[in-house]
Structure 1
Amino acid sequence: MRVLLANYDSRGGVEPLVGLSVRLRELGAEVRVCAPPDEEFARRLASVGVPLVPFGRPVRALMTAAVPPTAGGVPRRAAELLAEFGTVAEAAEGCDVLVATGLLPAAACVRSVADKLGVPYVYASFQSVSLPSPHHPPMARPGRPLPTDTTDNRALWDFDARSANDLFGEVINTHRASVGLPPVADVRDHVFTDRPWLATDPVLDPWRSSPCGSESSPWEPSPWESSPCGSESSPWGTTGEGARRGPSSPGLGVVQTGTWIVPDERPLPDGLTAFLDAGAPPVYVGFGSIAIGGSEDVARASVEAIRAHGRRVILSRGWAELAHLDDRDDCFVVGEANHHALFRRVAAVVHHGGAGTTTTATWAGAPQVVVPQGADQPYFAGRVAELGIGVAHEGPTPTSESLSAALKVALAPETAARAAEVAGMVLPDGAVRAARRLLDTYGGQ
C-alpha cells in the first residue's frame, strides 16, 4: 500500500506526519510526504527514512518576514499553493489514499489531485476548534473577524463558510477548471469532507460529539452522522459518508484517532545533558515556530521571572531567535532538541500553546505556562488551565511580573502532581490507530 501525506505548515504540523509515517512503515506501507522545503523538515523526515517532496515555498521565511502578510495577499498565497498541483499529482501516482492536513488552500490542492486521479482522500485536523460544531465557535480567518453581535455557534459557522468562499472560492474554482474539474459551492466543506479525522488526544482535546448528551467512544466515529439521537435525521443535516452538508448545519462525522506521536529516541546534545545534570530541574522557555514580537524583551522577562523563583533556565532559540542576555551560567540556549526527553527533565514548560508542544508537554507530565499568540493557541491554553496542569497566561506579551505569577502556580507541588496524573491518561498510540485504519479502509482497493 502507498500513502501520500501532505501539509503546508510549521514544525507543529509536520511532526505528526513523522509519527504517522513511522507507524505506516512498520505496517509495511510505502509513505511519501509533501511538506514545505525547509531544511529542518527535510532532516526530521530523513531521520525516520521518509523523503520530503517539496511543497510550496519554505514556510519559515514567510512566518519570520519583517513585514507580515496582509489579508489581501491571502488569495495570492492560496494560488501559489494550488499551483503545486503537478508536484502533488506526481507524488500521488500509484497511491491508494491521500491524507491532507493544515491550511485550507494546501489541502484543497491535495483534494483536487485526489479528484483528478480518482484516489480516496482524507482530511485530518490537529485541533478540534477548526472543525464545525455547535459546541464551539470557529477561529477567525485572515481579514474576516467574527461578528461581535452573534453568539450562536451555528450562525458563526455559517459566517465561516462564507468567509472561506470569499477568500478562496474563486481561486480554488479557477484552478479546478484549469485541470478539468468541476467547481465546488462550499470550499470549506469540500476540503474537510463529511468525515474528517481529528488527530488529537481525547483527554487534552475532547470532541463533543452529540448535541443530545449521549456519549461515544473517543476512538469511534462520533454520532454526528445520519442519526445522532436515534431519530430519522440529524437536526444538523445528514452527514454520513458522501452526504452533502449545507453551511447552516454544522456537525461532522468526526473520527478521533488520537495524537499522531511516536517516542523520539534521539539523544539530547551533550552540553544540554551536562546542564540538566548540574542542578535542579530548570524551566524551559520556547515558542517553537512562532516569531514572537519583541523576542529580546520576552527572553528577558522570562529569565527574570524564572530566576525570581530560584530556578535555572533553558531557552529554546526557535524561530523567535531567543538568545543569552548575560554571561551567567544558570541559562542554557538550545536549538533543535528532543522535546520528548527534555520535557521529562524540566520543572515547567513556558510555551505558545501550539497543538504539538502542548501535547508533548502534557504527555511528559510537565506543568505548563501557555502564552498564546493566536489561532488555536488560546484554546489549548484554556484546556491546560481547565485540566489543572498549568496556567493560561492572559495576553500574548508576557512581563516578568505576569510570568512570575503564572510560574508560582505552575511550580506548585499540586500542579506537578496533577500534570503527572494527566500524563498517565494520555494515549500515545494515535498514530498506530490512524495507520491501521488507513490500511484496513484503503489497503485492499
Structure 2
Amino acid sequence: MGYGSRGDVEPLAALGLALRRLGAEVRVCAPPDPEFAGLLARAGVPHVPFGPSVRSVVTRPDPQPSDAFRLAAELVAAHFGAVAEAAEGCDAVVATGLMPAGVRSVTERLGIRYVFACPHPFGMPSSHFPPAGRPGRPAPPGADLRTLWKVDAERVDALYGEPLNTHRAAVGLPPVDDVRAHVLTGRAWLAADPVLGPWQDLTDLDLVQTGAWLLPDERPLPDDLTAFLADGEPPVYVGFGSMAMRGAPGAARAAVEAVRAQGRRVLVGRGWAGLAPIDGRADCLAIGEVNHQALFRRVAAVVHHGGAGTTTAAALAGVPQVVVPQIVDQPHWAARVAELGIGAAHDGPTPTTESLSAALALALAPAVRTRAAAVAGDVRTDGATVAARLLLDGTGGQPPLPA
C-alpha cells in the first residue's frame, strides 16, 4: 500500500507485477485517482482505493497547515479500515508513501510481516542532512541536525499520534510513543538504484537496497507525438509530473523560451500543473501522460522536477537532464544528477528563462550526453524482482529464483 503521487504508486505496480510473475497473489491499496487505477491495471493487480484523491489534495486552492492534520487522521482511519480489510488473508504488507502510520498496527493485529519501503533515504534520520518541512512547532533558532530530527519526530507524533493510538486502543494494542520510528522500523527497504541513490553515509538507519522498482511500459507513443518527433531534431522535454506548481503559466513560459534559446524544439508535458504552450508555433507540442521509457530515448534532454521515478527513467534512457527541484527528496536528486555529470541542477524551484537556459546549456554539452549514456549502462532494472524475491523468501513462500 502507498498514499502519494505517481512516484509512490508506480513502484508498487512494478512490485505487484514482479510478485505475480513469481506466482504470488497481490492486491495494492492506493489512492482513488483514475491514473493510479490505470497503472495498476497495466500491472494486472487489483486496486483497493483508499483515502481522498491525491490530485484533489495537492491542487487544493489556498492550502492551510490544518489540512495536514485532517488528512493524517483520515489516512490513519483508512489504514485501520480499507487497508486492514485488504490485508486479511495476506502473508505480508509492504507500506510506502506518505507516513503509513497505521499499517504496522494492522500487521501486528493480523500477525503478519510488515515492510516499510521508500524510493529515497531522505526521510530517514540523518547526521548529514536536515529533515524536510512538516507542519508543526518551529525548531529552535540555530538548531543542529540532531535537534532538527528530534523536532521532526515530534511533528510526526503531533500529526499522527492521537489518531493512531485511538485506533490501536480500539483493537487492543498498546500505544506507540514514537510514530516515526514505529513506521520506519530498524531495517527499511530502499527502492532506489545504487548508482543514482547510494545511501551509505546518508542515514543513521540500516537499509536494504533493492534497486528501483520499475514498471515495464510497452505502450506505443501517440501518433501526433510520433509525427512531431520525426519532423525535426530531437526536442527537449519539459514536465513536472504530479507537482501542482504555483505559478505554472510562468514556469511554462520560462521553459519554452529557455529551450528555444538553445535552438531546440520543445515538448511540454501537461502534468498536474497544467503546463501549456505559450503560443501556436509549430516547434512546441503539449502532451499528456505517455510512455516515458520510449519517449526519453528520443529527446535531447529532460527538464523535470526531480522525482525519484523521473530521475531514474531519464538516467536509464541515457539522456541529459535538468532538475528543477520542488520539495522533499527532489533537491537531493538534483544534486546527485549534477554530481554524476549526467545533467544540471537548477538553483531553486522557480525557473526563469535566463536561469533555465543556463542550466540547459550545461546539460546539452556533448560531454554530458556522453556521460549520461555511460551511466545508463550501470542503472539496474531488476529492483522489483529483487524485492519480490526477498519478500517471498521472508514470508515462507516460494524461494527466491537463481540470479
Mapped to 1, the partners of 2:212 and 2:122 lie a distance apart of 15
Q: Does 1:135 align with 2:128?
A: yes
Say what the alpha-carbon RMSD is for the aligned residues: 1.6
Pairs within 5 Å for 1:33-52: 33-52=28-47
Partner of 2:257: 304
Instruction: Deviation per CA, 1:142-190: give whole Å up to 9, x if none.
Output: 2455555133x33332232222222222221122112322101110010
Contact 2:256 2:266 in 1 (8 A): yes
Q: Does 1:360 align with 2:346?
A: no
Partner of 2:20: 25
Q: Does 1:102 align with 2:97?
A: yes
Rate the CA distance shift 1:303–1:144 in 2: closer, same or farther, 3 A. Answer: farther
Instruction: Deviation per CA, 1:56-114: give whole Å up to 9, x if none.
Output: 0111011111122x22232221111111122112111110000000111xx12221211
Partner of 2:371: 418
Mapped to 2, the partners of 1:18 and 1:324 lie a distance apart of 32
Q: Does 1:161 align with 2:153?
A: yes
Mapped to 1, the partners of 2:189 and 2:146 lie a distance apart of 21
Mapped to 2, the partners of 1:11 and 1:142 lie a distance apart of 23
Q: Note the C-alpha offset of 1:444.
A: 3.7
Partner of 2:340: 387
Mapped to 1, the partners of 2:195 and 2:68 lie a distance apart of 34
Partner of 1:329: 282
> Structure 1 counterpart of 2:77, which letter?
A
SS in 2 for 1:45: helix
Partner of 1:66: 61
| Structure 1 range deviating more: 262-271 or 28-37 | 262-271
Equivalent in 362, 376, 392 of residue 439 of structure 1: 392
Q: Does 1:182 align with 2:135?
A: no
SS in 2 for 1:44: helix
Contact 1:36 1:58 in 2 (8 A): yes
Instruction: Deviation per CA, 1:343-385: give whole Å up to 9, x if none.
Output: 1111101111111111111111111111111111111111111
Rate the CA distance shift 1:348–1:160 in 2: closer, same or farther, 3 A. Answer: same
Rate the CA distance shift 1:65–1:124 in 2: closer, same or farther, 3 A. Answer: same
Mapped to 1, the partners of 2:40 and 2:337 lie a distance apart of 29
Q: Note the C-alpha offset of 1:296.
A: 1.2
Partner of 1:229: none
Equivalent in 15, 38, 54 of residue 10 of structure 2: 15
Equivalent in 248, 257, 267 of residue 295 of structure 1: 248
Mapped to 2, the partners of 1:177 and 1:390 lie a distance apart of 50
Mapped to 2, the partners of 1:135 and 1:275 lie a distance apart of 45
Q: Note the C-alpha offset of 1:122.
A: 0.4
> Structure 2 counterpart of 1:121, which letter?
Y
Instruction: Deviation per CA, 1:1-34: give whole Å up to 9, x if none.
Output: xxxxx00101111110111111111000111000
Mapped to 1, the partners of 2:248 and 2:154 lie a distance apart of 36
SS in 2 for 1:34: strand
Rate the CA distance shift 1:36–1:342 in 2: closer, same or farther, 3 A. Answer: same
| Structure 1 range deviating more: 174-183 or 364-373 | 174-183
Contact 1:140 1:146 in 2 (8 A): no
Partner of 1:232: none
Return the TM-score normalized by structure 1. Answer: 0.86
Partner of 1:257: 210
> Structure 2 counterpart of 1:180, which letter?
G
Mapped to 2, the partners of 1:298 and 1:416 lie a distance apart of 25
Contact 2:122 2:328 in 1 (8 A): no
Rate the CA distance shift 1:376–1:73 in 2: closer, same or farther, 3 A. Answer: same
Partner of 1:241: none
- In structure 1, runs of 5+ residues without a counterpart are 1-5, 211-249
Pairs within 5 Å for 1:372-411: 372-411=325-364
Q: Does 1:56 align with 2:9?
A: no
SS in 2 for 1:378: helix
Q: Note the C-alpha offset of 1:46.
A: 0.8
Instruction: Deviation per CA, 1:321-346: give whole Å up to 9, x if none.
Output: 01122111111111010111111111
Q: How many residues align?
A: 397
- In structure 2, runs of 5+ residues without a counterpart are 399-403
Mapped to 1, the partners of 2:206 and 2:177 lie a distance apart of 20
Contact 2:101 2:160 in 1 (8 A): no
SS in 2 for 1:99: strand
Return the TM-score normalized by structure 2. Answer: 0.95
Mapped to 1, the partners of 2:267 and 2:67 lie a distance apart of 37
Contact 1:135 1:208 in 2 (8 A): no
Mapped to 1, the partners of 2:94 and 2:139 lie a distance apart of 29
Q: Note the C-alpha offset of 1:138.
A: 2.2
Q: Does 1:342 align with 2:300?
A: no
Mapped to 2, the partners of 1:407 and 1:393 lie a distance apart of 9
Q: Note the C-alpha offset of 1:262.
A: 3.4
Instruction: Deviation per CA, 1:207-245: give whole Å up to 9, x if none.
Output: 1159xxxxxxxxxxxxxxxxxxxxxxxxxxxxxxxxxxx
Instruction: Deviation per CA, 1:265-310: give whole Å up to 9, x if none.
Output: 1111111111111111100000000011111111111111111111
Mapped to 2, the partners of 1:96 and 1:73 lie a distance apart of 34
Mapped to 2, the partners of 1:315 and 1:144 lie a distance apart of 39
> Structure 1 counterpart of 2:197, which letter?
D
**Aligned residues with identical type, % of pairs:** 63
Mapped to 1, the partners of 2:366 and 2:160 lie a distance apart of 49
